[in-house]
Structure 1
Amino acid sequence: MQDNAPSPEPSNNGMVADAYSDNWVDLYAPAPTRPYLRLSRADRPIGTWLLLLPCWWGLTLAMLYDGQPTWHDLWIFIGCAIGAFLMRGAGCTWNDITDREFDAQVARTRSRPIPSGQVTVKGATIWMVVQAVISFAILLTLNSAAIRLGVLALVPVAIYPFAKRFTWWPQMFLGLAFNWGALLAWTAHTGRLDAPAVVLYLAGIAWTLFYDTIYAHQDTEDDALIGVKSTARLFGENSGQWLRRFLMATVGLMGLAVVYAVLPNGSVFALALAILGPWAMGWHMAWQLRGLDIHNSAKMLQLFRVNRDTGIIPLLFFAAALLL
């Protein structure tokens, strides 16, 4: 695709098809910034939450693990939020650069800034670098072990957009990238990577397989036409059965991570309260399954979006356990 000047915005003022109708970007952001904020998915904040929440899981469990919360943890908490917004934006920009030809052929994605002509590839590349550089500056405020992990995180981020071309499991690669924050935030607190963080990371990957399979069901027909692979296409009518497996893996692995993390220094009451987190999360995922309709794209998008609440649930229990 040639890097031509962007064409005029569509009649909907450039709004992306699956954005929230009342999002702040389309309502309040200065017009020249909107295409770039859309590239970063700022008009669709669910992805930032899904990247951020594993960071906060890792941080809170790390504090339960060693029983030594500090004021620096407040900066880790804030830095994760800023970094999640920026790195999600950089990752989505990279995804849109690599997928621009596919996106132009899919009804839901052809309104994105690059295929719709709002942003050139050159402009998108510059915007991606700006976001990544600011994120790296935040990373440098953490300890050396966390910095090394943060740099290593670029590997799954770089690979993910190409995964749908060579595997039926691109959602696995998304899980590897989106849950890296559990490892990073844990290490930012403790200075080292411990087993509970790795188990928590695996729980997050199972959760990603759950919610992103739901998300991918919006595009199965278009994906089949253009040859894009996904777990939604792979599982088809058996998706409900696979989603239940991912639910059980999420709850089981997160429960194991909680036990590993809290037992060394936490009280019995803290352990009991923290273990309720994955249990309640599982019930929320089960509630989603009761409304599953893989042939209803609007319903699939709705279910995907409620996973922000799914991920907040265990975080609340972990935070409460810190008070005991």
Structure 2
Amino acid sequence: MSEHVSSAHGAPDGRVADATAENWVDRFCPAWSRPWARLARADRPAGTWLLLLPCWWGLGLAMAADPAGPRLYDLWIFAGCGLGAFLMRGAGCTWNDITDRHVDGQVARTRSRPIPSGQVSVRGAAVWMVVQALLACAILLSFPAAAIWLGILSLAPVAVYPFAKRFTWWPQVFLGLAFNWGALLAWAAHAEGFALASVPLYIAGIAWTLFYDTIYAHQDREDDALIGVKSTARLFGERTHAWLGGFLVVSVLLIGLSVGMATEGLSRWVALAGLAGFAAHLAWQLRRLDIHDTGLCLHLFRANRDAGLILAAAFGLAGLL
């Protein structure tokens, strides 16, 4: 358990167990605001990055696929996706914590979260969730109609995900459906319509989510087994490396298909170079992974921000060429 957690209900200062000691919320936010920021996972930004990066992938490849190239409005799509990812990740995590409040209280890593530790009431959390969702909606409404409708549809997997671990061994699939929707949405925001080439990118993102969130879930494998919560970490067990290797290959092949459909010439080579870097980073994670070392699992999970940034940078450059 983290050094910050000194009791079943979390640390005296309210820090959450898997937040880093140097996180900006606990260092700089006023004391009254910290429980709300923690509820939105602002103290643990890895998830925001993992929600945002597929958006930037989609935007970059959409620009590369467009004969007219990038335009000034793409700067707003880029920034709007960043703000929207922060808000919707916060709203989604708040919803997750409301539905999981009894489960979280039984797991060492999560019992220090704001609701089970008593920092925030369920009613207060529900209000906070609505506020975040409405702010994200305001950003969404600035996008073209196709992107707006895709944004509305994204609410379905977001709503279902917290319950998935109760009825399937594959809750990470539902997380992937929600977390990678931005690849479709941002592409549609640039193209002002749905693009077939965005579909393999979206499915590749789901495979990537299965890769990184299985690593993450190995932190809770023993507690999950005691309370009957399902996950791919429990399902795969000692075969995790083989499964993750499969997800890596599927993700890389599908991203390559999307690149092939969307790009040509120098843009294609730049995008493929980024894909090679992404693949190498995932392979490095797989070589290092020890599923019995929870600290390493958390470190490798967070490292997926860097893997995704490699791809986002390459796709962005490809879109500008």
Smaller-chain TM-score bracket: over 0.9
Deviations 1:115-134 (A, max 9, x none): 00000000000000000000
Match of residue 303, structure 1, among 300, 304, 311: 300
RMSD over aligned Cα, in angstroms?
A: 1.0
Contact 2:70 2:320 in 1 (8 A): no
User: Hey, what's the Cα distance between the residues in 2 that align with 1:233 and 1:86?
Assistant: 31
- State the Cα deviation string for residues 159-211 of structure 1 (Å, max 9, x = none): 00000000000000000000000000000010111111111000100100000
Quote the residue 2:315 is aligned against: 318
Gap regions ≥5 residues in structure 2:
1-8
CA drift of 1:10 comes to 5.0
In the TM superposition, 1:163-312 aligns within 5 A as 163-263=164-264, 268-312=265-309
Q: Which runs of 4+ in 1 moved over 3 A?
A: 9-12
Look up the match of 1:132: 133
Q: Is the 8 A contact 2:57 2:312 kept in 1?
A: yes
Code of the aligned partner of 2:88: M
Q: TM-score, normalised by structure 1?
A: 0.95
Distance, in Å, in 2 between the alignment partners of 1:245 and 1:50 is: 20
Residue 11 of structure 1: how far off its partner (Å): 4.2
Which residue number in structure 2 is paired with residue 3 of structure 1? none
Contact 2:87 2:136 (C-alpha < 8 Å) held by counterparts: yes
Q: CA deviation at 1:322?
A: 2.9
CA distance in 2: counterparts of 1:140 and 1:321, whole angstroms: 28
Q: Does 1:102 align with 2:99?
A: no
The superposition leaves residues 53-87 of structure 1 with CA deviations (integer Å, 9 ceiling, x where unpaired) of 00000001000011331111100000000000000
Q: CA offsets per residue over residues 134-169 of structure 1, 9 Å max, x none? A: 000000101111111101100000000000000000
Aligned mates of 1:12, 1:42 — CA distance in 2: 19
**CA shift at 1:281, angstroms?**
0.5
Which residues of 2 match residues 81-100 of structure 1 at below 5 A? 81-100=82-101
What is the total number of aligned residue pairs between the two structures?
312
Separation in 2 of the partners of 1:323 and 1:96?
A: 40
Stretch of structure 1 that moved more, 91-100 or 194-203: 194-203
What does 1:59-70 align with in structure 2 at a 5 Å threshold? 59-67=59-67, 68-70=69-71
Counterpart CA distance in 2 for 1:148 and 1:239 is: 37
State how far apart, in whole Å, the 2-side matches of 1:145 and 1:191 are: 6
In the alignment, the residues of structure 1 paired with residue 283 and residue 83 of structure 2 have an alpha-carbon distance, to the nearest angstrom, of 31
Per-residue CA deviations over 1:253-301 (Å, capped at 9, x if unaligned) read 00110010114xxxx2221111122221011000001111000100100
- Mapped to 1, the partners of 2:275 and 2:12 lie a distance apart of 41
Percent identical across equivalent pairs? 65
* Aligned-residue offset at 1:323: 3.8
Q: Which amino acid aligns with 1:297?
A: T
Q: 2:5 aligns to what?
A: none
**How does 1:47-86 map onto structure 2 within 5 Å?**
47-67=47-67, 68-86=69-87
For 1:229 and 1:10, how far apart are their aligned partners in 2? 24
Q: Secondary structure at the match of 1:221?
A: helix
**Separation in 2 of the partners of 1:162 and 1:288?**
29
Show the counterpart of 1:151.
152
Q: Separation in 1 of the partners of 2:126 and 2:302? A: 28
CA distance in 2, matches of 1:11, 1:249: 41
Distance in 1, Cα, partners of 2:82 & 2:205: 17
Name the stretch that deviates more: 80-89 or 192-201. Answer: 192-201
Q: Secondary structure at the match of 1:275?
A: helix
Cα distance between partner residues in 2 of 1:10 and 1:164: 24
> How far off is 1:12 after superposition?
3.4
Taking structure 2 as the reference length, the TM-score comes to 0.96
Tell me the equivalent position of 1:45: 45
